[in-house]
Amino acid sequence: MANKALTRTDNPTASSPTPAVAMTRRGLLGISLGAAAAFALAACGSESGASAAGGRITWAWQLPTTWDPVTSSAGSDVQMLALVYEGITGLDEKGNPVPWLAEKWTYDPAGTQVTFTLKKDLRFSDGTPLDATAVAKSIERGRTADGSLIAPQMIGITTVTASGDLDVVLDLAEVDYQIPALFAGKTGMVVNPAAFEKDPASLATAPAGSGPFSLTTFVENDHAELVKNSHFQLAEDIQVDEFHLYPQPDPATAVASVQSGQYNVARISGAQVEQAEQAGLDVQILDSMFVSCLDVHAGMKPFDDPAVVEALKYGIDREKIKKVANFDIGDVNYQPFPKGYVGYNPELEGIYDYDPEKAKQVLAEAGHTGTVKGEFTSAQPVAAVELIQAQLKEVGIELTIKSIPATQHTQLVYIEHSQALTYDGFAGRESPVQAFQVLFGKEGLMNPGRRTDPALEAQLKKVRATPTDDPAYPAILQEATKIAITSFPNTFLYNAPRIIVRKKVSELPASPSLQRFEGVTTS
C-alpha cells in the first residue's frame, strides 16, 4: 500500500484515476462502519444532553405588563423584568437581603441613613457605567415619577444622594431596616438614566438595565426576543446567547408545545406533570413564594360576621384542595410565607386544620341556624373554587360562584374592593413588611376590607426598627405573622411551587424569589 501511495506522490500529474490507496471492499466497509460509528457517537452525544455555550431558551412563561419597573402593575412582572434589570440587592433562600449590585450596605447608628456601596466596574447593557449617580437617579425617579407604582414603598425615603462613584446614601424619615430587602425587587431595579432622561415612555417597550439579557424585539401580547448582555456582571455564567419569552400556553397544549420544540421551557400545572413525564420531558419543581389564598372582605356580608370568617377558615380542607386541584404538589400553609422563610411562624402550623364540626359549632354559637349565603368570585373556573364551595356547603356556608373576566379582576377585586370573597394567589414580596402592607395594610391590594389592626401596625414598626441581621429579627417578624393570621380574615390555603417542563435545557437554579439563569445551558 505504501508503495502505491508513493507512486502517486512520485507522479502527481498522472492522469490515471486510480486512487493511491486501493479501495478494497473490506476497506470500504471499514470506513463506512467507522463513519457510521462516528456519526452515531455524535448523535448520541447530542441526544444525551451534552451542553455547550450558546443556544436559546424559548420560555412560554408570561409577558410583563410593561418593561418599566416603575410603572409595572403586576407583582409577577418582577420575574420577567429581572431578565433585563438588576436589583440593588438580592434575596437568599430564606428571604434575607444579600449583595447584588451593591456589595454591602451600612446603616448609621440611628438607623435613619443607609449607604449602599456598589460593586466596581458595573455597566448597563449599552456599556455606560452603572455608578452611584445612576443608581441615585434611578431611585429618585421611582420616588417621584408620575404614575410610579413603587413610590408608595419609598415614602419613608427623604433624600437620595450619590457619594463618589460607588456610594448611594439614603436618608430616611424614620428607622427602617427593610430598605435592603425592598431593593431586591422592582423597587430596587436600576434603570439607565440615559434612557429615562431622554424618553421615559420608551421604557415600556425598550428596557434599559444591566441584567443578564437585553431586549432586541418586543411584540406586545406576542413575544419578546432578548440576547445575552455582555456587560452583565456575571456574563461569563450566562451560557445561552438568546432568550425568547412567550406568554404561558393553554394548559391543554403546554406539554405538546415543548415536545414539538416550539418552546424548550414552559410553565405547567400539576395536571400536566404526568403527561410531561410520559413524553420524556424533564419536569422540575421549583420552590416559590406563591401561596394560594382567599381575599375576604370583612366589610361585606356574610363575612362582616367574625364567626362566619372563623367557620370559613376551619371549614376548608386544604389538604384535599392541594391534592385534587394541584395534584398533591405543594404544601398546605396557613400563612403568607413558605416554610423556611424568615417570616414563617412555625407556631401557626395546623392553626386552622380542617374541622367541619368546629366550623358548624362556631356558626351555631353565633346564632346562624340556617344556611349562610354569599358570593364567591373567581377570575377563572378552577377546581379549587368548586371544592371550596362544596366543602363550605357542608358546614352551612352556601356560596354562589361568580366568574369574572380576568380583565376585570384587577378592577373589581384590587381597586373597587367590591367582592366579598375572591379566590386569589399571593406571589410574595421581597420585603416581608411590604408583603404585610399588600395583604393587611390599610391600602393593601389584597385587603378588600381596608381594615387594619393597631397591634399589627405596632409590630411592623418593631420589624422595621430591627436590623435584619439582628438575632431577634426572626422572632419579631414571626410575631407580626401570628398577629396577622389570627386577626385578619385573609385565608391562606397552600404554597404552590413553580412547575416547569424542559427539553434540552439544563436544570434551572432553585431560587424561591427571582428565577436565575446563571449556568443554564441548552443542548
Which residues here bind another protein, judged by CB under 8 A? 250-252, 255, 269, 271-272, 274-275, 278, 320, 324, 380-381, 383, 385-387, 389-390, 400-405, 407-408
Phi first, then psi: give them for residue 292, nearest 5 degrees: -75, 135
Q: At what angle do helices 356-365 and 383-395 cross, to 10 degrees?
A: 50
- The minimum distance between CB 274 and another protein, in angstroms, equals 6
Closer residue to another protein, CB minimum distance, 300 or 324: 324
Q: 13: buried, middle or exposed (CB in 10 Å: 19+, 13-18, 0-12)?
A: exposed
Closer residue to another protein, CB minimum distance, 488 or 494: 494
Closer residue to another protein, CB minimum distance, 226 or 388: 388
- The minimum distance between CB 403 and another protein, in angstroms, equals 5
- The minimum distance between CB 282 and another protein, in angstroms, equals 16
**Separation in Å, CA 46 to CA 92, 432, 448:** 34, 45, 53
- The minimum distance between CB 276 and another protein, in angstroms, equals 8
For residue 509, what is the DSSP state?
P
Closer residue to another protein, CB minimum distance, 82 or 420: 420
Sign of CA dihedral 158, 132, 102, 498: positive
For residues 238-252, one letter each, b for 16 or more C-beta atoms within 10 angstroms of the residue's C-beta and e for the rest, the string is bbbebbbbbeebeee
What is Dmax (Cα atoms) for the chain?
A: 113
Closer residue to another protein, CB minimum distance, 362 or 388: 388
- The minimum distance between CB 169 and another protein, in angstroms, equals 49
Closer residue to another protein, CB minimum distance, 389 or 506: 389
Residue ranges of E strands in 351-446: 372-378, 397-403, 421-426
Residue 126: CB partners within 8 Å, gap ≥ 6?
A: 192, 194, 208, 231
Contact (CB, 8 A) for 510 and 340: no
Closer residue to another protein, CB minimum distance, 331 or 375: 375
Contact (CB, 8 A) for 4 and 22: yes
d(CA 217, CA 207): 11
Closer residue to another protein, CB minimum distance, 206 or 401: 401
Closer residue to another protein, CB minimum distance, 319 or 479: 319
Q: At what angle do helices 454-464 and 473-487 cross, to 10 degrees?
A: 160
Residue 374: CB partners within 8 Å, gap ≥ 6?
A: 301, 302, 303, 308, 397, 398, 399, 400, 420, 421
- The minimum distance between CB 68 and another protein, in angstroms, equals 28
Residue 227 has a CB neighbour count (10 Å cut-off) of 16
Residue ranges of E strands in 147-205: 157-163, 167-172
- The minimum distance between CB 168 and another protein, in angstroms, equals 46
- The minimum distance between CB 268 and another protein, in angstroms, equals 10
Closer residue to another protein, CB minimum distance, 268 or 298: 268
- The minimum distance between CB 405 and another protein, in angstroms, equals 6
For residues 295-322, one letter each, b for 16 or more C-beta atoms within 10 angstroms of the residue's C-beta and e for the rest, the string is bbbbebebbebebbbbbbbbbbbbebbb
- The minimum distance between CB 392 and another protein, in angstroms, equals 12
- The minimum distance between CB 320 and another protein, in angstroms, equals 6
Please tell me whether residue 510 adopts helix, strand or coil conformation.
coil
- The minimum distance between CB 139 and another protein, in angstroms, equals 39
Closer residue to another protein, CB minimum distance, 164 or 405: 405
Closer residue to another protein, CB minimum distance, 106 or 380: 380
Please tell me whether residue 154 adopts helix, strand or coil conformation.
helix
Closer residue to another protein, CB minimum distance, 375 or 453: 375
Q: Following DSSP, what letter does each residue of 285-341 receive, concatenated?
A: EE--S-EEEEEE-TTSTTTTSHHHHHHHHHS--HHHHHHHHSTT-SEE-SSSS-TTS
- The minimum distance between CB 75 and another protein, in angstroms, equals 23
Q: Following DSSP, what letter does each residue of 435-462 receive, concatenated?
A: HHHHHHSTT-TT-TT----HHHHHHHHH
Q: Following DSSP, what letter does each residue of 248-288 receive, concatenated?
A: PPPHHHHHHHHHTTS-SEEE--GGGHHHHHHTT-EEEEE--
